[in-house]
Structure 1
Amino acid sequence: MTIVIIGAIVLIVAIILILVGMADREDRVDPLEERLSDYVSRGELITSLEDVELSQPISERIFIPIARKLGEIALRFTPQNALDQTAHKIELAGNPRGMEPTIFWATRFGAAIAVAAFLFFIFSIAAIDWTWGRKFTMIVVFAAIGFYIPELLLTSRINRRQDGVRKAMPDALDLLTICVEAGLSFDMAMAKVAEKWENELAYSFGRALREIQLGKMRREALRTMAERIGIPEMTSFVAAIIQSELLGVSMSKVLRIQSDQMRIRRRQAAEKRAQEAPIKMLFPMALLIFPSIMLILLAPAAIQLMTSALGEMFR
């Protein structure tokens, strides 16, 4: 029981620390903008590199360089294809806080080492009647769990981001259709979507527009946007837009068709979830609700039976 409690505490602390480290970038104020605003409001001017260094928060001066060093060490033990997959997953997750693959792998190794060191310390000072072989096994198991927790959190963030894009696409396509039919270009319509909403789809549209403004071809920027989101709906939408541009088909008609298809897909997905709900509810009901009901119904009868003459016969 003691090791279960210790393991639960270790996992909870590790998850909290990793969640704090992978917090959304939109929830964090840009430190550069914050410092510049502070200096402008106070009329101060940075005159030396030392002032620039000291003006940065302690996380950027100490923790991030340490994480980069750990990441460089982790790179020696990480295959190149694993790094490429990690970079792609970080893009699918929306590149939270500008995280680099090296920082992510440093987080994984750091979590495993921290969990192992904490358990080793607990086993060293606690009076647990276990052999060191058993203790070492528990350390390895929980270190492996700590190693895979960042991967699970990243996958969870990817799923949340993709679900958010799926939910926003039908309304965004309606707005695109209205803007194009009103006479705006497709780029201006995308800019309207990026200005109107603050969600993952709007951020993706804004990033694609910035790439187009920097000289990237529209079709390449749209393809890159679809790869960064990684859902079939966005890939189909981008393919239809590129095909319309190449063939000279009316953009408003293509957008109207895509909008109708997105709404049909969203309705079908809702119907699918509604059909799966009874099956998903079966196991909690069978394991939690039904035993409680049986206990409530049969407990009085069992008590009466035990206090009756028949119960006295079996004592």
Structure 2
Amino acid sequence: MSDPAAPAAHTRELWFPRDGMELRAIDSGPHAGEPVVLLHGFPQRTSSWDAVTPLLHADGLRTIALDQRGYCASARPRGRRSYRLEELVGDVLALLDHLGLASAHLVGHDWGAAVAWAAAGNHPERVRTLTAVSVPHPAAFLKAMLVSDQLLRSWYMGFFQLPFVPELLLNSPGAAPEKALAGMGMTPEMIARFRDEMVTDDAIRGGLGWYRALPFSSPRVVASRVGVPTTFVWSDDDPALGRGGAALTERYVDGDYRFVELSGVSHWIPEERPVELAEAISRRARGVAG
């Protein structure tokens, strides 16, 4: 039997405008709970949080998972500059404005973490706390390329700059994309979801736009220090992101900082370790020390 004193839960799909586009988000959990905005990465969408959100709801938190620019079918602008980091941050701010929220707790995985770092660094008044997953602070990431093996790990970012070829490869029906994703740690179920949400829904080009906009993002936006309370969750078996950037991240956070390392976990932390991730998010959102 449900607790009559518990806050009412809800799930709704919402749409909001920005720059002539319509973006989509999934708003769920107790409506009166502390709001937590969830930002997915590449090549995934809001479903990547499916194992995490029920755990956050059980802890009284409200979640808003954004189907981000380039992924959402009604928000796929053409042109590399449309995917600059400042535009991606602007989408998050537009979501908060649409919901009437002055601020929210912000959580991002992979590319979503890069957006979350930039939002927290440039708009701290809109971010109550930050939980970044897998991807370190952008300045730490760039520094790690010079002092660690991160440049070798990030070879695919250069490949994604090529026109047409990455789309052809990732959209192909053959085994090559599945083999690459499995090598990154994706399960068959996750790969099937990739096929449905990214390939069938024609979201590959939009997702690649984020990589192709890297040369056009403002250095100030990328490098801004973060002063809000921050947790960084990193896994030691991530083939794309080494320890170098993880170790350097603390240098770019002025607020209360906690580093959570998960052992034996690949890049896909929300699916592999939802319990530990939800605990880290909840502890940060509730201001629990340690």
Could you state the TM-score of these two structures normalised by the residue count of structure 2? 0.27
* Greater share of residues in strand: 2
* Greater share of residues in helix: 1
Could you state the TM-score of these two structures normalised by the residue count of structure 1? 0.26
Greater C-alpha radius of gyration: 1
